[in-house]
């Protein structure tokens, strides 16, 4: 029971929303200091806050059981909403002149979500691990190797998802690898200082 409780806590604290808020804020800050941070917060609203509000609304209406949305059909509905929300956020960022580094990051995030949604139609890849690994990778690439130990948080996330029986070890590993690869590609193609 103690392990289950710890795993629930880890899954909650290291859920995608929290990684996305930290990462968009950090990428914004990296791009343009305090002004970039403000843009990062705008991006976080569309990439994390609105999707979480949608998930919470679905829970209250009985459309899905919990914040992790494990069943395939509801999971695809949530992913479709996230894609739409991130697309609207990206359009606003580009249209209103946000830093290219942040807009590029959000554009790549949109592509990554579409890939995860496509995979989800046939296999339940770990989105928690994809987002955690992608976040650590992009932050380490932007701010330096001192962030590499944060991969321990990715491993902890994977552990929690397996202990909770939400994912297999293979789904956790593939999510982590896909997230890191997507972040590396993102770093290679976005403009950055």
Q: What is residue 67's predicted lDDT score, i.e. its pLDDT?
A: 82
How large is the average pLDDT for residues 93-113?
Answer: 96
Query: How much of the chain, in percent, has pLDDT values that exceed 70?
Result: 97
How large is the average pLDDT for residues 94-115?
Answer: 96
- Could you tell me the pTM of the whole model? 0.94
Q: What gap in Å lies between CA 171 and CA 97, rounded to an integer?
A: 38
Instruction: Tell which phi-psi region holds residue 165, choosing left (phi > 0), alpha (psi between -120 and 50) or beta.
Output: left
Q: What is residue 3's predicted lDDT score, i.e. its pLDDT?
A: 59
Is the pLDDT at 144 greater than 90, yes or no?
yes
**Location of structure tokens 């962030």:** 147
Is the pLDDT at 1 greater than 60, yes or no?
no
Provide the terminal-to-terminal Cα distance of the chain, rounded to the nearest Å.
48
Instruction: Tell which phi-psi region holds residue 126, choosing left (phi > 0), alpha (psi between -120 and 50) or beta.
Output: beta
The total number of structural domains that make up the chain: 1
pLDDT tens column, 147-165: 999 999 999 999 999 999 9
CA distances from 31 to 9, 10, 24, 48, 87 (A): 32, 30, 10, 20, 20
Confidence class for position 4, pLDDT limits 50, 70, 90: low
Q: What is residue 133's predicted lDDT score, i.e. its pLDDT?
A: 97
Confidence class for position 2, pLDDT limits 50, 70, 90: low
Q: What is residue 192's predicted lDDT score, i.e. its pLDDT?
A: 77
pLDDT tens column, 46-95: 999 999 999 999 999 989 888 888 888 899 999 999 999 999 999 999 99
3-state secondary structure the chain: CHHHHHHHHHHHHCCHHHHHHHHHHHHHHHHHHHHHHHHHHHHHHHHHHHHHHHHHHHHHCCCCCCCCCCCHHHHHHHHHHHHHHHHHHHHHHHHCCCCHHHHHHHHHHHHHHHHHHHHHCCCCCCHHHHHHHHHHHHHHHHHCHHHHHHHHHHHHHHHHHHHCCCCCHHHHHHHHHHHHHHHHHHHHHCCCC
Q: Across the chain, what does the average pLDDT equal? A: 94
Q: What is residue 182's predicted lDDT score, i.e. its pLDDT?
A: 95
Domain of 116?
A: 2-189
């Amino acid at each position: 029971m103690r392990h289950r409780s710890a795993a629930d806590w880890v899954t909650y604290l290291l859920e995608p929303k929290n990684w996305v808020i930290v990462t968009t804020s950090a990428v914004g800050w990296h791009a343009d200091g305090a002004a970039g941070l403000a843009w990062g917060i705008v991006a976080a609203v569309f990439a994390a806050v609105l999707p979480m509000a949608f998930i919470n609304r679905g829970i209250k209406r009985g459309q899905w059981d919990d914040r992790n949305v494990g069943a395939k059909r509801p999971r695809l509905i949530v992913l479709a909403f996230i894609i739409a929300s991130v697309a609207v956020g990206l359009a606003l960022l580009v249209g209103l002149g946000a830093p290219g580094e942040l807009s590029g990051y959000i554009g790549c995030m949109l592509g990554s979500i579409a890939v995860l949604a496509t995979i989800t139609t046939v296999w339940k890849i770990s989105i928690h691990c994809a987002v955690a690994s992608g976040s650590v990778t992009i932050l380490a690439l932007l701010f330096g190797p001192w962030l590499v130990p944060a991969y321990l948080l990715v491993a902890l996330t994977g552990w929690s998802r397996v202990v909770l029986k939400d994912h297999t070890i293979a789904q956790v590993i593939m999510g982590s690898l896909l997230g890191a690869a997507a972040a590396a590609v993102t770093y290679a193609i976005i403009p950055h200082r």
